[in-house]
Structures are given as C-alpha cells and as structure tokens.
Structure 1
C-alpha cells in the first residue's frame, strides 16, 4: 500500500528532492485514492493548501511519479490525460469499462486475464503489463436509451 513515507523514501532513493511543495502534492495525491485525476485537478487541490505552488511544480512531480510507476497515465478517449495512483507492489493495473454515452469510467478487477496471462507465458512470452478498456453503455444510460440506435 502506498503512503507518504514510502513515496518520499522512493523519491530520495532515486535522488529527487523532497521539497515542501512536492510533499503537499503527494499529500493531495494520496487523498485522491484511486480516483482518475487530471494534472489540473491535482493542481487545484494543491493550490487550496498552498496558493504559491506553481503548475510547473505539479507537472514535474507528476512526471517523476509516472517514471517511478507510482502513478500511471490513462487515456479514456475523452481528450484528457488522467492519472491514477498505483499500489507500489502492484504488478498489473485494473481495467476500465467506459460508457460511450455519459463517459463514466468503471474500474474492473478480474481474475480472467490472469489465467490468460499464464497461458501466454507458457508459450514463452514474458508479460510486463497489460491494459484493457471495454466500451459500451453503463446500466443507467442503457436504461434510458429505449428506442435509440447504438453506435
């Protein structure tokens, strides 16, 4: 499980500075949990705690945390880059169900793909990671689509 101490230790071990601004950024990031956030949303949360923190500090911190695989960038085909916090000991990310009507993103964790991975690895291919996005309609949108033609 990620916590501030683990992230700070990892940053120091990598040789990165741990400034007060970076600490606030990490604190805000940790309060977001598994929420999919944009850099702008993270910036807004940090600005509420310290109005003097600049956007460039947030971008640099996000870039470093992404390089360290502590956060990962997600693209849900809505024109925005989003990020989410990764567990430090997590081998694979969870998967996403994306509603084509409202844009809602539902996280999915399932064991089906682990079985598929094992079969693939038996064939001599070493999997480092994978990502799965499933497009369709959430139950709310589907219920309200009576008579509509599907994309």
Structure 2
C-alpha cells in the first residue's frame, strides 16, 4: 500500500472515531508513514513536522499522537530509554509486531512473525483467557554491531 492509500485508510479510521484529518494531523501522520521503521518519539515527530509546517506546535503533535494511540492507529511504546515512541499498527497482523533492541546502542529491529500464536491458543484452552493483543521485546546485543561500546559489552558477556 502506498503512502496516499495508507493516509486515506487512516483518514477513514479517524472519521469512524468521529474525528477529522486536519492539516496538522495529516502532517503528523505523514511523518509517521514516511519514517515507519524509525520508531520516532513525539519530539522527533514534532521536529520533522515543523520542517514542513513551521506554524505547528509541540502540543498539537502530542495531542495527535495520543489520539492516534487511542484509536489504535499507532502503538505507544517504551523501549526502556524513557522515550515514548510511536509505531504504526499493521493491518496484516492480528497483533503488534515484536522487537529486538540492543541494550547498548539502542539499535532496533522488527520481527513481523507472530511467534506467540500457539501460546495464545494454550492460554485460551487452559485458562479461558482470550488474548486481544500482545507485544514482545527482546533486549540484548547484536553480534554484528560495529559500535565500540557494543563490542566491549559482547566481550564482557562472553
């Protein structure tokens, strides 16, 4: 799906929730779509929106991100660095995707496969609990990272 199709889909989701895609919201959504794999924080989104729309305020971007999270268009997440990040939800998967996060340099990689499907079925079967959503984050160190601090950390745990 191209950017305009994704934007149109999000516009429909907002309308279903009783909201309009204002120009400020559209600018914020465009930044999220254009930087989909970057897991931007609110201030990073704001700085990128401000490049094209200098009149927009930080509070407007914050409110837009919170609204998108409430409507489950984005997932608000924290990877342990104290920064709330926003990740677009993927219609092709029932649940949020998973992440590999380097504990040293912060490099992040997404895992699109749903590795927890069998566990969900077992939870339903054994506990009568239906999982509506889940997210799994792995924290560690990449073996291939060239960051000097990562190399030192790998040696320390070897």
User: What TM-score range do you get, normalising by the shorter chain?
Assistant: 0.7 to 0.9
- 8 Å CA contact 1:71, 1:83 repeated in 2: yes
Number of residue pairs matched by the alignment? 151
Is the alpha carbon distance of 1:14 and 1:132 closer, same or farther for their aligned partners in structure 2, counting shifts above 3 Å?
same
Structure (1/2) with the larger helix percentage: 2
Structure 1 residues 20 and 109, CA gap change in structure 2 (3 angstroms): closer
Cα shift at 1:15: 1.6
Partner of 2:112: 109
Q: TM-score, normalised by structure 2?
A: 0.83
Cα deviation, 1:96-127, whole Å, max 9, x if unaligned, reads 12222222122223343112212222222100
Change (3 A) 1:149 1:44: same
Structure 1 residues 96 and 49: CA distance shift in structure 2, 3 A: same
Structure 1 segments unaligned to the other structure (5+ residues): none
TM-score, normalization by structure 1 = 0.87
- The Cα shift of 1:42 comes to 0.8
Partners of 1:23 and 1:17 in 2: how far apart?
A: 10
**Aligned structure 1 segments of 4 or more residues deviating by more than 4 angstroms:** none
Asked if the contact 1:101–1:141 (Cα under 8 Å) also holds between the matched residues in 2, the reply is: no
In structure 2, relative to structure 1, the CA distance for the partners of 1:73 and 1:42 (3 Å cut) is same
Match of 2:151 among 141, 144, 150: 144
1:35 counterpart residue number: 38
Among residues 60, 63, 66, which one is paired with 2:66 in the alignment?
63
For residue 134 of structure 1, the aligned residue among 109, 133, 138 is 138
The one of 10, 15, 18 equivalent to 1:7 is 10
Residues 41, 83 of structure 2: 8 Å contact kept = yes
Secondary structure in structure 2 of the residue aligned to 1:127: coil
Q: Which runs of 5+ in 2 are unaligned?
A: none
Q: Distance in 1 between the 2:115 and 2:15 partners?
A: 37
